[in-house]
Every structure is written in C-alpha cells, then in structure tokens.
Amino acid sequence: MESSFNNKSILLTGGTGSFGKAFTKHILKNFSPKRFVIFSRDELKQFEMQQIYSQQKHPCLQYLLGDVRDRDRMMRVLEGIDVVVHAAALKQVPAAEVNPTEAIRTNIMGAMNVIDAAIDCRVKKVIALSTDKACNPINLYGATKLCSDKLFTAANDYSGSHETRFAVVRYGNVVGSRGSVIPFFKAMKAKGEIPITDDQMTRFFITLQQGVQFVLNSLDRMKGGEIFIPKIPSMTILDVAKAIAPGVPVKIIGIRPGEKLHEIMISPDDSRNTVELEDCYVIKPQKNNMTKSSGDADGGKGVADGFHYSSNNNTKWLKPDDLLKLLNTTEGEEEWPKQEL
C-alpha cells in the first residue's frame, strides 16, 4: 500500500465513533499526515478523545465541532483538505424507524453537503462508509444509506471540471461494536436466557481493524464511482449465541420489523456491473452516464449474470470457536486505550 496519507490533509467525519477511533489510531501509528481533522458534533466525545490522542503529541491533529447537516460548516472545514473519509451517520435501525426525518437529514442531506463541499473545495478523494442494509433495503436506515451510496457514486460526473473522486465502501456487522448483537448476548447470558429472532438467521461479520484496512485499500485503488465490498465470513445467529453463552437456553422471539433473515451486499441486479478481485467485489459505475469515471478498479473478473452475495450463500463461515478467537484479538477495540498514544 502506498503512503497515501503522508504529508496529506485528511478529514474524518464521525471521527469519534467506533470506526473513527480505530481509523485515527491506525493513521497516527502508520502515517505522517500534514493535517488530520477529527470532525464530529459531540463535544464530550471530542474532549475524551483529546485525552488519548492529544494535539501536543500529534501536532497534525485538529478537533472541529460541527454537523454534516450544516452545508456552510462543511464548506469551511473542507478548505485545504486532500482526502475525506465520511463515517458520520445515524445508524440505529429502530431509532431511524421512529425518527425518519432525522435519519434523512443526516444520512442523505448530510451526504449531499459533504459532496458539494468536497467538489467546491477541490478535495482529491472522498470515500463513504456504507452498510449491507443499503442493498435491497427494507428499513429506513438501509434506504437512506442506499440514497447516500447513489449520491456518492453519481457525484463523479456532476463535479464538472473539478477532479474530486468519490467511492463507497460497503461491509457488514462489526464484531463487538456498539449496537452489535455480541455485547447484547453477553448481557443476556447473566439472565440465563438468550433471545434470538430466528435460528436460521445469518449475518456478515468484520472486525474494526479489517474495516479500517479495507477503507485504506479502497482509497488506494479507487478510480471513481465504485462500491467496494470485502469478502468476509458469515455466521448464524444461533452459532453466535453458542459462542457467547454456551449451554444457556435460547428463546426464539421472531424477526423484528425492518429486519432481514439474511443480509445481502450485492443483489442479482447489480451483478452485470460487478467484478471480482482477490479480496473483494467491486460494483462498477454504470457506463451510460459515467463518462469521466473509468471505474475499472484495477481490472477484475466479471461475475456471472444473476450473481448475488448474501450472508447465507457465502463460501466463508465462522464457527463458535472461530468467533471466540476473533473476539480475543479485538478485545478492547471499542474502549479507549489506558494511556495516551
């Protein structure tokens, strides 16, 4: 991987979230950016983050408060920025269902503000984090992220004479992150019963560090307009329960509103534009309007017509022992380090 961030100015939206903390740690450890802006709306989380990643030890760091909903603020903070990693989102499915306008304002209108500001400020590369729920969405969160994906992939052609390039990374559930089923199962273990929605349910799983590395790899290979999807393992929810709480009785409670039995990251309709690389799939931009974007993603082999990539037709699977080993390697990823880095 080339040193994409050495002597570059980077801005990370949603910089104090799960991904933001892991991304910051990785960048400060492995690169020497000219400027690294942590952009988020929570002053307390920024204060806590500054106790760990201080500006005294890392002069490149800058903490800026703001909201992606505010177009004027985005125009100001993106001045002089080379690379944007867009991780800000409202992502709790139940919360989005009962607060739809809030999810739309952040996930769709916020995406549009990032795009417009990046073009006007002549940012070189922008990559946005998406979710498996954006493919064939059945809940509002997924629908807003699908809209966001479409905005970012289409942005390459309406950027005019500007050379800003946009791409998307789409991946599944992050092992042990906030909102993940794993911390929930750990809490339920003490109560002597694990509620699961359906014993046939499957999900994709990825670690925070794997997600960070995949974003970096995608930034290196992007040409503009692509959606990058990593090849990651699946697991049944029943096996997750067995790993976290072996021997504890399981209660089937039924699928909740807005929930899928299996997650999908590439639909059959996307197959005609999808190529396979060694470590990932790439949904290339449709060429009828993408005159400026080559979208070749370093080649790749086209998938069969009608191909779909879902958590139940995966070729890679995690068993309970595999998950426990993975959790041992990721322990503490969601917590702040004990000392300043």
**What local confidence, expressed as pLDDT, does residue 44 receive?**
96
What confidence tens digit (pLDDT) does each residue in 30-72 have? 999 999 999 999 999 999 999 999 999 999 999 999 999 999 9
What pLDDT sits at residue 288?
Answer: 44
Give the tens place of pLDDT for each residue, 108-152.
999 999 999 999 999 999 999 999 999 999 999 999 999 999 999
pLDDT at 280: 96
pTM (two decimals): 0.91
Count CA within 13 A, CB hemisphere, residue 284.
27
Q: What is the pLDDT of residue 186?
A: 86
Domains for the chain: give ranges and CATH numbers: 9-172+205-231+264-309 (3.40.50.720)
Q: Which amino acid is at 290?
A: M
3-8 long-range contacts (CB < 8 A, ≥24 apart) are: 3/31, 4/31, 4/83, 4/216, 4/219, 4/220, 5/31, 5/32, 5/33, 5/83, 6/31, 6/32, 6/33, 7/32, 7/33, 7/34, 8/33, 8/34, 8/82, 8/83
pLDDT at 287: 64
Nearest in space to 117 (alpha carbons), one of 168, 73, 165, 61: 73
Residue 278 has pLDDT above 80, yes or no: yes
Identify whether the C-beta of residue 280 lies closer than 8 Å to the C-beta of residue 229: yes
Return d(Cα 65, Cα 38) in angstroms, integer.
Answer: 8
What does the block give as tokens for 135?
Answer: 């493919």
Cα gap 338→341, rounded to integer Å: 9
Q: What is the DSSP string of 230-250?
A: E---EEEHHHHHHHHSTT--E
Phi then psi dihedrals of residue 227, to 5 deg: -115, 115
154's enclosing H/E stretch is: helix 140-154
The set of catalytic residues is 133
Q: CA–CA separation, 298 vs 337, rounded Å?
A: 37
